[in-house]
Amino acid sequence: MVWHYTNDVALYCRAFRSMPHCLRERQYFMVKDHDLLLKLTGELVSVNINRYKCGYCGACVGVCPKGALELVETWIEVDESTCIKCGICDRICPVGAIEVMK
């Protein structure tokens, strides 16, 4: 099943389980209520991107519900004023280059 990501629909879960399980297993799920997402995953404070690990695939950019991540030349830039600290980017990164810290 293919989904087009927008600001309203971030992810889709292939295995209909709990939201934290889907994120932890790097599966996909649909998010329309960002307040609910923060309630279930916990409020997060800062996003750190390890430029040495990052392969610049853009997966995090594509799933960010607020468009706070941008691929700029050879790095990912985080707009802290737009970021809602949901942690989706951390969970979707295939190489573990993103760390969202409390």
Rg (CA), the chain: 13
Statement: 43-101 belongs to CATH 3.30.70.20: yes
Mean pLDDT of 66-92: 87
Please report the pLDDT score of residue 67 as a whole number: 92
Q: What percent of the chain has pLDDT over 70?
A: 55
Tokens at 72, concatenated: 């700029």
Ligand-binding annotation for 54, yes or no, is yes
83 annotated as ligand-binding: yes
Confirm or deny that 60 is annotated as ligand binding: yes
Residue 87 has pLDDT above 70, yes or no: yes
57 is in an annotated binding site: yes
pLDDT-based confidence at residue 36 (cuts at 50, 70, 90): low
Is 93 annotated in a binding site? The answer is: yes
